[in-house]
Chains A and B, each alone.
Chain A
């Protein structure tokens, strides 16, 4: 469904992605794990067109998307819940969700359909329903994250890009978010998930990629990665002593 081949991205002179190749199949949840600055967010921004790649191919359903503007990419069916949530703070929760369907309004989709989808988001996140009229900026971090995911879903994406949905959230709230991701998975949503919390991410995902300083250094089935000594040492923190002293 999505395939990146030898993608390179620069921020000015900084070489942020070095020959990154990865792929996603329909219905799969794939996670990118790695330390800060490894290039996880850059991969998502490169796919969504926010930071276009300088070389390499990005194919989405066999169509090249690497030189398109972000709005074209959303139209093709990729939507993103960006890092740090980035909800529209001075707007109400409902307005935020309506903005998620911006392109669908533009393409004159019937209002009824869109309102129905908003109701569906409210079912997924009942807390958003309670706060439909509240300004997004006045909500807690967890609620804002739910809104960011809801907003991205309103575009009816074929592929959902999630950037650190658990960032800065209390463990219980973050668990709640992952429960919803589990629900999305059952509905067959394809997700590319960037996470700091490697354990939770690998538990949810089918496959994973491990990144270090802009390069993919390891890839595999999620459960394999979970067992991998290197991953365990560096990112799961489990049995650190045991592995180290062997």
Chain B
């Protein structure tokens, strides 16, 4: 609970630290990435099922929102929820054959899925605009209040992120969360205590896809322009990195991982051509010294720091 209050205070006050500008825009992306990392973490960190195709679900949400609001002029809020349900249903049906696979095979299957979705975005030019993208997506509004500035988008996106975070925390502490962790550890044992592992895996896959779709819709409406490049394999891998760096099986870890991986490239801009090298080196160092991710690594580091302070006091 204390953790959550801290988190809320940071989210609410962060904009005061920066007087608008570019960094606010980056923080909007950090919110979207946090949602996606939480979604993937429910699947990977809790249930232990890998997905290398989550950028695809993110893209489906974004494109459904984009197309339905520009081409068909539907209400954006309605489209966000409908897109989420549709994506969830799609993942649910797909989950039955795909989630029968395990380990590397599951990774390959979801990888293929992501690539197929990416190709569809590229090739159905009549609807998606193909590689040149889809523009003119309307900004969200409530009555006459339009989410047209970075600061407004910030509160919109982070508002939704907080809700999703609460739901995810709740889920992970519940009977279902326990069952997911059980599947992760031993699927046979999970089955003999009466967990319908097949159904539960598919269900969490669908929930994860639904959250990703919502993130995609919000992305489309806040940026107002989308192109397939944002939803490719690279982004799926980046999401995976956020989850692992943040800490598998920790919701707050997903927040930290998403925040770090969204902000880091911005701070490394100054290093010009070397930014990608430094970025890679930092990730490797973090995995070597914090194998449990930031969520476990940071408290450990703080503890060690405290102990060393005590130690020097005695000496």
A contact set with B: CB distance below 8 Å: 48-50, 69-71, 74-75, 79-80, 82, 86-91, 95, 98-100, 102-103, 105-106, 151-152, 154-155
Contact B189 A155 (CB under 8 A): no
Interface centre among A82, A89, A151 (most CB of B within 10 A): A82
For B196, give its contact among A48, A71, A95, A154 (CB under 8 Å): A71
Q: Which residue of A50, A74, A99 is within 8 Å of B182 (Cβ)?
A: A99
CB distance from B134 to the nearest CB of A (A): 44
B207 to chain A, nearest CB (A): 17
Contact in complex: B186, A155 (CB < 8 Å) = no
User: What number of B residues sit within 8 Å (CB to CB) of A?
Assistant: 18
The yes or no answer to B306 lying at the interface (CB within 8 A) is: no
Q: Interface readout for B175-195 with A: 1 if CB under 8 Å, 0 if not?
A: 100110110111011111111
Contact partner of A88 (CB less than 8 A), chosen from B181, B196, B198, is: B181
Apart from A70-B192, A89-B185, what are 7 other A-B pairs with CB-CB below 8 Å?
A: A50-B191, A75-B194, A90-B184, A102-B175, A102-B195, A152-B192, A155-B194
The contact of A91 among B185, B188, B192, B196, by CB within 8 Å, is B185
Quick check: A69 and B178 within 8 Å, CB to CB? no
With A91-B178, A105-B175 already in contact, the answer to whether A99 and B185 are too (CB < 8 A) is no
User: Looking across the interface, which residue of chain B has its beta carbon closest to that of A96?
Assistant: B182
CB contacts (< 8 Å) of B196 on chain A: these are 69, 71
Complex alpha-carbon distance, A105 and B195, angstroms? 11
- Collect the chain B residues with CB atoms within 8 Å of residue A89's CB: 185-186
B138, chain A: closest CB distance, angstroms: 43
Asked if A99 and B192 sit within 8 Å, CB to CB, the answer is: no
- Taking CB as reference atom, which chain B residue is nearest A86? B189
Partner of B178, one of A50, A95, A103: A95
Q: Are B191 and A99 in contact (CB under 8 A)?
A: no
Instruction: Please list the 4 inter-chain residue pairs (A to B) with the smallest Cβ-Cβ separation, ordered nearest first.
Output: A74-B194, A86-B189, A103-B194, A70-B191
Q: Mark B191-211, 1 if CB is under 8 A from A, else 0.
A: 111111010000000000000
Set B181, B188, B195: member contacting A90, Cβ < 8 A: B181
Among A69, A71, A87, A90, contact of B189 (Cβ-Cβ < 8 Å):
A87
Quick one: which of B147-179 are within 8 Å of A by CB? Answer: 175, 178-179
**Contacts A82-B189, A86-B188, A86-B189: A91 and B194 contacting too (C-beta < 8 A)?**
no
Report chain B residues within 8 Å CB of A103. Answer: 194
Assuming the contacts A99-B193, A102-B194, asked whether A50 and B185 have C-beta atoms less than 8 A apart, the reply is no
Which residues of chain B are within 8 angstroms of A71 by Cβ–Cβ distance? 191, 194-196
Query: Are A79 and B185 in contact, CB atoms less than 8 angstroms apart?
Result: no
Are the CB atoms of A86 and B194 closer together than 8 Å? Answer: no
**Cα distance, A99 to B177, chains bound together (Å):** 10
Contact B193 A91 (CB under 8 A): no
From the candidates B175, B181, B192, name the one contacting A50 in the complex (CB within 8 A). B192
B175: chain A residues within 8 A (beta carbon): 98, 102, 105-106
B198 nearest CB neighbor, chain A only: A69
Question: Which residues of the other chain, B, contact A154 by a CB distance below 8 angstroms?
Answer: 193
How far is it, in angstroms, between the C-alpha of A244 and the C-alpha of B130 when the chains are bound?
83
From residue A210, how far is it (CB to closest CB) to chain B in Å? 25
Inter-chain contacts of B179 with A (CB < 8 A): 99, 102
CA distance A82 to B186 in the complex (A): 11
Residues of A within 8 A of B181 (CB): 88, 90-91
Q: CB-CB < 8 A to B189: which residues of A?
A: 82, 86-88
Give bound CA distance, A134 to B116, whole Å: 45
Give the shortest distance, in Å, between B5 (CB) and chain A (any CB): 25
Q: How far, in whole Å, are A75 and B191 apart by their CA atoms in the complex?
A: 12
